[in-house]
C-alpha cells in the first residue's frame, strides 16, 4: 500500500512538473495506473520506483561548457532535493570516454541514467548499450532522431526545438529600428559564429536566424560562417578576424550561443565598435553574463535556453520511467520552450 502511494505521488509530481515546463508533444507514455493496486501489475514489467531514492548516473559531454554547467548544477540540485544520489561525470568531449563511463555506471548498478551525448552520431550505440542493460534513460541536449529513439521503450529525450531559438534571434534583429540594415544599403550583412556543427542546435540556429530575416522580405548577405564550437575564446578570435577582414561591412553578429557572443563582444569593443549603434550582436542561452550585457546595451538580445526547466523535465521523465512508463509510439521527445530576451524584458530573467 505504502509503495502504491509512493508510486502515485511520484507519477502525480512528474506530471505536474512536465505541465509547468511548457513542453510540447508530451510523449505518449503507457503509465502504470497509479490508482491500481500494485498486485494487479504484471510484476516483472514494473520496476521498483525509488520515489525519491536511488542512484542516478549523469553523463555530461564536457564540464567546460558554460550552459551545460548551469544545466548540470540544476540537475544535481533537483535530484538531491528529491532524495536521489546523483553521480555526475565529465566526458571531456570524448565519446569513447563517455562510452566507458556509461558502462561503468551500468556495472555499478545505477537506477537510471541521464546522458548528454558527446556525439549525436553515437546515439545508436548509446541506445543499444542502455537497452542491453535495461536501464531507464533520459537523453538531454543533443537530440537523436525519432527512429533512433524508437529502438528502446525506456528512453526519453528532453530538450528544446532549436529552430525556435534561431527564429527568435532573427526576430531580435527585426525588432531593431533599422531591422539590421545599419548602413542603409538595402541588405543585412552578417557573420555567423557557429557552435559544433555536428549538433542540431548549431545547424538549426544557423539556418532559422537568417530565415526569419528572409521571411520578413529582407535581403541578407553572409560575409562569413565559422565554427566556434560553443567556446568563448573561439568566439572572440573569430569575431576579431572577421572585423579585421570585413570592418564596417559587418552589421550583425549572429552567435549560436552566449558564450561565443561574450567572446565576440570583447572583439567588438577592442575594435572600437559599439553594439546597438554600429553593429548588432545576438546569442542564445541567457547566461547571467549575457543578461548583464543585454541590460547594459552591449548585446542586442539573447534567447533563454531554460536549463532549470529542462533539468526539471528530465528528472520528471526519469521518474516516470522509474515508475514503469514505457514508450511504444515513437513519440519520445519532450520540448521546453525558448523565450526571447530583449532589453525591455531582460530584468524578468535576472536573479
**Which of 142, 154 has the CB closer to ligand GAL?**
142
**Near ligand GAL by CB under 6 A, which window of 27-35, 36-44, 62-70, 338-346?**
62-70
| Helix pair 2-20, 307-322: axis angle to 10 deg | 150
Alpha-helical regions (H) of 21-94: 66-81
Instruction: Bin 171: left if φ > 0, else alpha if -120 < ψ < 50, else beta.
Output: alpha
Binding status of residue 284 toward ligand GAL by CB under 6 A: yes
**CB of 83 vs ligand GAL, minimal distance in Å:** 28
Site string for ligand GAL, 235-274 (x = CB under 6 A): ----------------------x-x---------------
Nearer to ligand GAL, 199 or 237 (CB): 199
Shortest reach from residue 74's CB to ligand GAL, in Å: 13
Query: Which of 78, 284 has the CB closer to ligand GAL?
Result: 284
- What residues have CB less than 8 Å from 330, skipping those under 6 apart? 146, 147, 149, 150
Binding mask 14-33 for ligand GAL (x = CB under 6 A): --------------------
Question: Counting Cβ atoms within 10 Å, is residue 113 exposed (0-12), middle (13-18) or buried (19+)?
Answer: buried
- The answer to whether the beta carbons of residues 129 and 102 sit under 8 Å apart is yes
- Cβ at position 117, least distance to ligand GAL in Å: 9
Give the nearer residue to ligand GAL in terms of CB position, either 140 or 212: 140
Q: Which is nearer to ligand GAL, 49 or 346 (CB)?
A: 346
H or E element at residue 349: none
Residue 150 cell numbers, joined? 524508437
Distance CA 178, CA 142 (A): 35
Residue with cell 565554427: 227
Beta bridge partners of 191: 224, 253
The footprint of ligand GAL (CB under 6 A) covers 65, 67-68, 141-142, 195, 199, 201, 230, 257, 259, 284-285, 305
Amino acid at each position: 500500500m505504502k509503495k502504491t502511494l509512493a508510486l502515485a505521488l511520484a507519477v502525480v509530481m512528474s506530471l505536474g512538473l512536465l505541465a509547468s515546463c511548457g513542453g510540447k508533444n508530451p510523449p505518449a507514455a503507457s503509465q502504470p495506473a497509479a490508482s491500481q493496486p500494485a498486485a494487479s501489475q504484471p510484476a516483472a514489467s514494473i520496476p521498483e520506483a525509488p520515489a525519491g531514492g536511488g542512484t542516478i548516473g549523469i553523463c555530461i559531454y564536457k564540464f567546460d561548457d558554460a550552459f551545460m554547467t548551469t544545466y548540470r548544477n540544476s540537475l544535481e540540485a533537483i535530484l538531491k532535493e528529491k532524495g536521489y544520489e546523483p553521480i555526475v561525470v565529465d566526458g571531456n568531449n570524448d565519446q569513447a570516454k563517455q562510452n566507458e563511463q556509461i558502462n561503468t555506471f551500468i556495472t555499478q548498478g545505477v537506477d537510471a541514467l541521464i546522458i548528454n551525448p558527446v556525439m549525436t552520431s553515437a546515439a545508436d550505440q548509446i541506445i543499444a548499450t542502455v537497452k542491453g542493460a535495461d536501464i531507464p534513460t533520459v537523453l538531454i541536449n543533443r537530440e537523436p532522431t525519432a527512429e533512433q529513439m524508437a529502438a528502446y521503450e525506456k528512453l526519453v529525450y528532453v530538450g528544446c526545438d532549436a529552430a525556435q531559438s534561431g527564429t527568435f534571434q532573427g526576430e531580435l534583429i527585426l525588432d531593431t529600428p533599422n531591422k539590421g540594415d545599419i548602413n542603409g544599403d538595402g541588405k543585412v550583412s552578417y557573420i555567423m559564429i557557429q557552435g559544433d556543427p555536428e549538433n542540431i542546435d548549431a545547424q538549426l540556429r544557423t539556418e532559422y536566424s537568417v530565415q526569419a530575416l528572409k521571411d520578413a522580405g529582407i535581403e541578407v548577405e553572409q560575409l562569413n560562417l565559422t565554427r566556434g564550437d560553443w567556446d568563448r575564446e573561439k568566439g572572440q578570435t573569430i569575431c576579431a578576424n572577421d572585423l579585421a577582414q570585413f570592418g564596417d561591412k559587418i552589421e550583425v553578429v549572429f552567435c549560436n550561443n552566449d558564450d561565443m557572443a561574450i567572446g565576440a563582444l570583447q572583439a567588438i569593443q577592442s575594435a572600437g565598435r559599439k553594439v546597438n549603434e554600429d553593429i548588432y550582436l545576438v546569442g542564445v542561452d541567457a547566461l547571467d553574463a549575457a543578461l548583464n550585457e543585454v541590460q547594459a546595451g552591449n548585446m542586442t538580445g539573447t534567447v533563454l535556453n531554460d536549463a532549470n526547466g529542462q533539468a526539471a523535465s528530465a528528472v520528471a521523465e526519469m521518474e516516470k520511467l522509474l515508475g514503469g512508463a514505457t514508450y511504444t509510439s515513437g513519440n519520445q521527445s519532450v520540448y521546453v520552450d525558448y523565450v526571447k530576451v530583449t532589453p525591455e524584458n531582460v530584468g524578468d530573467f535576472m536573479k
